[in-house]
Structure 1
Amino acid sequence: MTQFFRSIATYVALAIGAAGVIIVLFVFNLPPFHGSVETTNDAYVRGQVTLISPQLAGYVVDVPRKDYQTVKTGDLIAQIDDRIYVQKLAQAKAALAKEEAALANSEQARKSNEAKIVSAKAAIESANASLTAARTTYERTQALLERNISTQSESEKNRAALDQAQAALHQAEAAELVAEQDLNTTIVSRRSLEAAVDSARAAVALAEIDLQNTRITAPQDGTLGEISARIGQYVSVGTQIASLVPERIWVVANFKETQLAGMQAGQAVTFTVDALGHQTLKGRIERFAPATGSEFSVIKSDNATGNFTKIAQRIPVRIAIDPDQPLKDRLVPGMSVVARIDLAQPQPAEAVAAR
Structure 2
Amino acid sequence: MAADEGKAPEDGQDKQKKEVSPRRKLILIGLVVVVVVAGALYWFLHRNEVETDDAFTAGRAVAVAPHVSGYVTELLVNDNQFVHQGDVIARIDDRNWRAQRDQAAAAVDIARAQVQNYTLLSEVAKKNFPGHLMVAQGQLQQATLNQAEAKLREAELNVEWTTIRAPHDGWISQRNIERGTYVTAGQTVVSVVEPEVWVVANYKETQLTHMRPGQKVDIAIDAYPFLKLRGHVDSLQLGTGATFSAFPPENATGNYVKIVQRVPVKILIDEGLRADLPLSIGLSVEPTVHTE
User: Normalising by structure 1, what TM-score?
Assistant: 0.67
User: Normalising by structure 2, what TM-score?
Assistant: 0.81
Which residue matches 2:58? Answer: 46
Q: Deviations over 1:46-105 (max 9, x none)?
A: 111111122221111000111111111111111110000011001000000000000011
8 Å CA contact 2:229–2:271 kept in 1: the answer is no
Alignment partner of 1:261 is 2:209: yes
Q: Output the CA distance in 1 between the equivalents of 2:80 and 2:273.
A: 22
Give the greater-gyration-radius structure (CA): 1
CA pair 319-328 structure 1, distance change in 2 beyond 3 A: farther
Q: Output the CA distance in 2 between the equivalents of 1:307 and 1:278.
A: 48
Alignment partner of 1:203 is 2:215: no
Alignment partner of 1:66 is 2:78: yes
8 Å CA contact 1:270–1:283 kept in 2: the answer is yes
Mapping of 1:104-253 within 5 angstroms?
Answer: 104-116=116-128, 179-192=129-142, 195-253=143-201
| Residue 220 (structure 1) shift | 1.1
Which residue matches 1:155? Answer: none
Which secondary structure state, in structure 1, belongs to the residue aligned with residue 53 of structure 2? strand
| Residue 277 (structure 1) shift | 2.2
Q: Output the CA distance in 1 between the equivalents of 2:267 and 2:46.
A: 23
Q: Output the CA distance in 1 between the equivalents of 2:276 and 2:239.
A: 29
Which residue matches 2:237? Answer: 289
The CA RMSD measured in Å over matched residues stands at 2.5
Mapping of 1:268-287 within 5 angstroms?
Answer: 268-277=216-225, 279-287=227-235
8 Å CA contact 2:237–2:264 kept in 1: the answer is yes
Q: Which runs of 5+ in 2 are unaligned?
A: 1-16, 18-27
Q: Output the CA distance in 2 between the equivalents of 1:327 and 1:337.
A: 19
Which secondary structure state, in structure 2, belongs to the residue aligned with residue 295 of structure 1? coil
Q: Output the CA distance in 1 between the equivalents of 2:58 and 2:276.
A: 13
| Residue 304 (structure 1) shift | 3.4
CA pair 323-191 structure 1, distance change in 2 beyond 3 A: farther
What code does the residue aligned with 1:58 have?
A: G
Which residue matches 2:97? Answer: 85
Which residue matches 1:302? Answer: 250
Q: Output the CA distance in 2 between the equivalents of 1:245 and 1:296.
A: 24
Q: Deviations over 1:3-39 (max 9, x none)?
A: x9xxxxxxxxxx9xxx9xx9xxx8xxx9899722100
Q: Deviations over 1:119-138 (max 9, x none)?
A: xxxxxxxxxxxxxxxxxxxx
CA pair 327-208 structure 1, distance change in 2 beyond 3 A: closer
| Residue 318 (structure 1) shift | 0.7
| Residue 238 (structure 1) shift | 2.5
Q: Output the CA distance in 1 between the equivalents of 2:254 and 2:110.
A: 77
CA pair 199-191 structure 1, distance change in 2 beyond 3 A: same
| Residue 186 (structure 1) shift | 0.7
Q: Which runs of 5+ in 1 are unaligned?
A: 5-14, 117-178, 345-355
Q: Output the CA distance in 1 between the equivalents of 2:277 and 2:85.
A: 19
Normalized per residue, the structure richer in strand is 2
Alignment: residue pair count: 257
Which residue matches 1:136? Answer: none
Q: Deviations over 1:239-270 (max 9, x none)?
A: 22111101222111111110011111111111
Of the three residues 111, 131, 135, the one matched with 1:99 is: 111
Q: Deviations over 1:269-312 (max 9, x none)?
A: 11111111253201111111010110001111122356432211
Q: Output the CA distance in 2 between the equivalents of 1:250 and 1:264.
A: 17
Q: Output the CA distance in 1 between the equivalents of 2:147 and 2:258.
A: 64
8 Å CA contact 1:281–1:327 kept in 2: the answer is no
Which residue matches 2:265? Answer: 317
What code does the residue aligned with 1:300 have?
A: P
8 Å CA contact 2:72–2:182 kept in 1: the answer is yes
Instruction: Give the percent of matched residue pairs that are identical in Structure 1 and Structure 2.
Output: 33
| Residue 324 (structure 1) shift | 6.6
